[in-house]
Amino acid sequence: MRISKYHGTGNDFVFVEDLDGRLDIPPAFVAAVCDRHRGVGGDGLIRVVRGDARGESRADFFMDYINAEGQPAEMCGNGIRCLAVYVYERDLTSKTELVVDTRDGLKRLWLDVAEGRVRSVTVDMGPPTLERGKIPMSGGDPAAHVAGEPLDAAGRTWTASAVSMGNPHCVLFLDAGEDPATMDVPGIGSEIEHLPLFPNRTNVEFVTVPDPSRVRMRVWERGVGETLACGTGACAALVASAVAGKTGRAADVEVPGGVLRVEWREDDGRVHLTGPATFVFDADLSDEWARAAGLSGIPTAAAS
């Protein structure tokens, strides 16, 4: 199987091209190929399918995103930018405005292109969901917003806000003088991810706001672990910061892998995410690797 590697501000993905939508990729294969010691290494796998191959004539492509744990996820802001670079720079499309289908619905993307190369991609991530019951979170009034509420976990009380960007996020605002770099993101993030409060589990953002134009963040991704960036997490952090009055409706979100620009538009309430995406390499997976990984073989296309 031919695979490719891309990253968006350090959030990295294994790509599999399956334009006709014929491949059956089991969770064990995804987990093995995303293993950073025995596989290619990645925060998830993205299968690229033509929109019409799944009966979605309104979409140019479908992003089948599966996290490193082997579980399908609703949306990935960094991954969808990588998909845009993949399809444009491999001449699968000449469009600089794309519609991509995801498990969170259709997303519109704009590509900033110069001399045949994509410099950055802006994604319309849609409006945030703030209602407790729709994030989802258990307990309390399902219609209430969770903004700056106390959350007890990991031996302390956090100031937390909850936002869904198609997937659930718990944004933790750190106390004055605290630095995201000093946080035990794996320990705290894993505990909060699995709290019964979040029936679908949650992503966790550790956030400070140095000034109204900047947000600093580290992130624990549900089913993955700590990543260098998270597009939906950056959007959730900006929305939560704006609701709290810490920023305006647009800011640069600084993550360990780089900087993402997020704008929560006032006219239509939709969130736009802008950032780069980078090609790393192409490679071929061997049957020997599959056997060594304990798999029965490389996934093949289903019989037509």
The per-residue pLDDT of the chain, averaged, comes to 95
Q: What is the pLDDT of residues 98-131, one digit of tens each?
A: 999 999 999 999 999 999 999 999 999 999 999 9
- Beta-strand pair 271-275/117-126: antiparallel
pLDDT at 87 over 60: yes
From the candidates 34, 82, 230, 235, which is the catalytic residue?
230
CA angle 166, 82, 39 (to 5 degrees): 100
Number of residues written out for the chain: 304
Of the candidate CATH numbers 3.10.310.10, 3.40.50.300, 3.30.980.10, 3.10.20.30, the domain formed by 132-269 belongs to: 3.10.310.10
Split at pLDDT 50, 70, 90, the class of 296 is: confident
Q: Is the pTM of this model over 0.75?
A: yes
For the domain covering 2-124+278-292, report its CATH number: 3.10.310.10
The number of CA neighbours under 13 Å toward the Cβ of 245 is: 1
pLDDT digit string (tens) for 124-151?
999 999 999 999 999 999 999 999 999 9
Phi then psi for residue 202, to 5 deg, are -155, 155
Q: For position 302, what pLDDT does the model report? A: 60
How far is residue 206's CA from residue 266's CA, in Å, rounded to a whole number?
Answer: 25
Choosing from 76, 82, 170, 235, the catalytic residue is 76
Where are the chain's structural domains? 2-124+278-292, 132-269
Is residue 76 among the annotated active site residues? yes
CA distance linking residue 194 with residue 124, whole number of Å? 29
pLDDT given at position 107: 97
Using alpha carbons, list the distances in angstroms from residue 64 to 45, 47, 191, 258, 259. 8, 5, 27, 25, 25
DSSP strand pairing (61-67 vs 97-102) = parallel
Q: Contact at 8 Å (CB) between 225 and 218?
A: no
